[in-house]
Amino acid sequence: MTHRFKTRLEQAHERGHYEALLDLIPYAKLIGIECTRLGDELLFRMPANKDNIGNPILPALHGGVIAGFMELSAALHLLVFTGSPGIPKIIDFSLDYLRAGQFRDTYAKCQVWRQGRRVANVAITAWQSTAAEPIATARAHFKIEETARP
């Protein structure tokens, strides 16, 4: 992990705000991801943005933007809670679209189902109105960089 990245992660933990960390990821900035810590959980938010629309007739969010939001949310969740020395690398990502993502704020939460020394499995749920009515669910597998051993 670069010194700059490590410093920003430490600052984010102290403040409970992750903007400085998200600024290091160009795609996160492009789609507007925000992250807030709520106790032992992270809540990810993607504010409504006209540039993220895929179907202007409805209007509805582009499916790729929803997928990118969910994948990045899972990677950041792992980064924050596992102490990984860098952003985890995606191995596999499976997404189920449940309903159209309307042109409004979208939220996501993640849960680590299994974590080994090298691989982690994360479940992601995205919603807009209420968490009980998700617009998409996903499962992701990540390769985790091992920390340096003494």
CA 19 to CA 23: how far, in whole Å? 6
pLDDT digits (tens, 9 = 90+) for 79-127: 888 767 678 899 999 999 999 999 999 999 999 998 878 899 999 999 9
Share of the chain above pLDDT 70, in %: 89
**CA 52/CA 31 separation, integer angstroms:** 7
pLDDT value of residue 55: 92
In the chain, the percentage of residues whose pLDDT exceeds 90 is 63
Distance CA 143, CA 137 (A): 20
Where do the domains of the chain lie, and which CATH numbers do they carry?
3-143 (3.10.129.10)
pTM score of the predicted model:
0.89
Number of H helices, E strands in the chain: 4, 8
Residue 65 pLDDT exceeds 70: yes
pLDDT at 17 > cutoff 80:
no
